[in-house]
């Protein structure tokens, strides 16, 4: 939007601490944050935006909550983090002009709301993409290091009180790491791997240079590139285009002993193909924070595979996440009000 606006009525549609509501209003004085903690589900821990599922509104409270979110020019969060609730308020509130999802992968939530094209064109949807870059990049480094130093072997020997003959570990500064996806998370990964001395490659659509990346790889050349690298880090969002991008053909093309870390969306990896590659040693180790189905079913072989590290989609969690997202919201509110480009805008065709 090019015209400047004088004010913005924001409704906190998810639990947001009073000090963070006040922080948003301080950082952008043209914003008024409407909130009622009695109507939002209380958090059970840091950044628990969906809140306690045991909290049930009375009919009167639900009516008051709906009235509150339907009065917004902008929403901080999707109401109750429920796509159906987003669809309801979009239909009820023709004045709504912006929704910021608290999830980095909020595009999937917007897609699940199945909004009409007119609404998708009318409302700007943004996500918190990039806010989680640092914590996820640290997990990616941890995962690749765990594979390079053969953490499963160390843990097994320690558990058995075995002191084996000395054996050689892989060195990160002798490795080439391919980052599949150079968005906010991927760029943060590139900086850290570069700082540790690795040769860093990254897939790209735009061809724009990224700090710390030694070689840009067109996404169409992914299969060729994996044959030349020691580790891959997957940071891509879950879209129709990225679904099972890392499949059997990619994993068969990889250099034997590949290390894999996944911090994007679990649907990017074909888990059946990954298990086959782990079983035959094509993939030596996989550190996974995200999965095709979450929570990971107890029947999944990934739980007990000796060369897999399972993290329950928790690598991004930080007690500073809520403040980072509040600051991002205030920054984007200024951009919206001043008619400037906003950050992490959802592509409402591919929904990432």
Catalytic residue among 17, 153, 243, 313: 313
Cα end-to-end span (Å), the chain: 20
CB under 8 A, 24+ apart: contacts of 40-45? 40/12, 40/13, 40/14, 40/15, 40/16, 40/65, 41/14, 41/15, 41/80, 42/15, 43/15, 45/317
Cβ pair 74, 100 in contact under 8 A: yes
Q: How far is CA 151 from CA 30, 170, 275, in A?
A: 52, 12, 18
Q: 335 catalytic, yes or no?
A: no
Q: 117 catalytic, yes or no?
A: no
Q: Which residues contact 296 (CB under 8 A, 6 or more apart)?
A: 302, 303, 310, 312
Coil, strand or helix at 62: helix
Catalytic residue among 111, 265, 324, 328: 265
Cβ pair 124, 97 in contact under 8 A: yes
Q: Which residues contact 236 (CB under 8 A, 6 or more apart)?
A: 180, 181, 183, 242, 245, 264, 265, 268
Catalytic residue among 18, 67, 221, 294: 294
Nearest of 272, 267, 268, 266 to residue 288 by alpha carbon: 266
Nearest of 186, 194, 189 to residue 219 by alpha carbon: 186
Q: What are phi and psi of 330, to 5 degrees?
A: -60, -40
Nearest of 282, 280, 266 to residue 226 by alpha carbon: 282
Q: 305 catalytic, yes or no?
A: no
- Would residue 313 be called left, alpha or beta, if left means φ above 0 and alpha means ψ between -120 and 50 degrees? left
Nearest of 2, 123, 31, 126 to residue 334 by alpha carbon: 31
Q: Which residues contact 181 (CB under 8 A, 6 or more apart)?
A: 202, 203, 234, 235, 236, 237, 264
Q: What residues are labeled active site?
A: 265, 294, 313
């Amino acid at each position: 939007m090019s015209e400047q606006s004088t004010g913005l009525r924001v409704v906190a549609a998810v639990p947001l601490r009073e000090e963070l509501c006040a922080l948003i209003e301080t950082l952008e004085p043209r914003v008024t944050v409407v909130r009622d903690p009695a109507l939002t589900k209380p958090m059970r821990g840091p950044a628990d935006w969906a809140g306690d599922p045991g909290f049930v509104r009375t009919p009167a409270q639900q009516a008051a909550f709906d009235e509150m979110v339907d009065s917004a020019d902008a929403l901080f969060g999707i109401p109750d983090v429920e796509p159906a609730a987003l669809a309801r308020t979009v239909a009820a509130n023709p004045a709504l002009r912006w929704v910021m999802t608290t999830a980095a992968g909020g595009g999937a939530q917007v897609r699940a709301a199945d909004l009409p094209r007119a609404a998708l064109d009318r409302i700007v949807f943004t996500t918190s993409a990039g806010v989680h870059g640092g914590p996820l990049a640290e997990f990616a480094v941890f995962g690749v290091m765990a594979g390079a130093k053969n953490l499963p072997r160390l843990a097994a020997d320690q558990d058995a009180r075995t002191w084996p003959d000395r054996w050689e570990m892989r060195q990160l500064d002798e490795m080439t790491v391919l980052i599949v996806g150079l968005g906010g998370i991927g760029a943060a990964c590139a900086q850290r791997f570069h700082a540790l001395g690795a040769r860093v490659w990254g897939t790209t659509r735009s061809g724009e240079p990224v700090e710390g990346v030694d070689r840009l790889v067109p996404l169409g050349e992914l299969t060729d590139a994996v044959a030349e690298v020691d580790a891959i880090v997957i940071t891509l969002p879950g879209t129709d285009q990225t679904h099972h991008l890392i499949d059997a053909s990619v994993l068969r093309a990889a250099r034997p002993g590949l290390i894999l870390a996944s911090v994007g969306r679990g649907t990017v990896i074909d888990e059946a193909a990954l298990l086959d590659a782990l079983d035959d040693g094509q993939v030596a180790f996989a550190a996974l924070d995200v999965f095709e189905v979450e929570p990971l079913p107890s029947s999944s072989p990934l739980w007990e595979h000796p060369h897999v590290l399972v993290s329950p989609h928790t690598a991004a969690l930080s007690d500073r996440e809520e403040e980072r997202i509040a600051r991002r919201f205030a920054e984007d509110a200024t951009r919206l009000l001043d008619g400037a480009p906003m950050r992490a805008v959802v592509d409402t065709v591919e929904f990432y």
